[in-house]
């Protein structure tokens, strides 16, 4: 059996629900500062633009974490979706040792 009632803590003046601890906040600040510096003159946007082209899988993973999980419309303005699929044929470059 628990020492406290459900929903009650032993420290009512403790950290509010959802508030991050100091270490997590400091780490996020350090990561953002490093990304700003890595982006040179363009800052964080430059870093992310470079990441999108040089390492798209990591960039898309990050994008998936920051986009909302659920999108909702309302009766007056229902959401509409559109999907576009494009196939592109990409020929590999000819190599000298292909025997051609």
Q: In the predicted model, is pLDDT for residue 63 greater than 80?
A: yes
The predicted-structure confidence for 25-60, as pLDDT tens digits, reads as follows 899 999 999 999 999 999 999 999 999 999 999 998
64 is written with which tokens? 């998936």
Query: What pLDDT was estimated at residue 55?
Result: 92
Whether 32 and 39 have beta carbons less than 8 Å apart is answered as: no
Distance between CA atoms of residues 42 and 48, nearest Å: 10
Average pLDDT score over the chain: 83
Going by C-alpha positions, the residue among 57, 58, 38 that lies closest to residue 47 is 38
Query: What pLDDT was estimated at residue 64?
Result: 87
Query: What pLDDT was estimated at residue 95?
Result: 83
Distance between CA atoms of residues 13 and 88, nearest Å: 60
Query: What pLDDT was estimated at residue 48?
Result: 92
């Amino acid at each position: 059996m628990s020492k406290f009632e459900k929903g009650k803590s032993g420290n009512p003046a403790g950290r509010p629900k959802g508030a991050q601890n100091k270490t997590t906040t400091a780490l996020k600040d350090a990561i953002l500062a490093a990304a700003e510096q890595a982006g040179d003159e363009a800052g964080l946007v430059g870093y992310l633009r470079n990441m999108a082209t040089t390492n798209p899988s990591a960039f898309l993973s990050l994008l998936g974490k920051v986009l909302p999980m659920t999108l909702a419309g309302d009766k007056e303005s229902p959401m509409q979706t559109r999907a576009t699929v494009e196939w592109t044929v990409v020929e590999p470059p000819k190599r000298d040792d292909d025997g051609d």
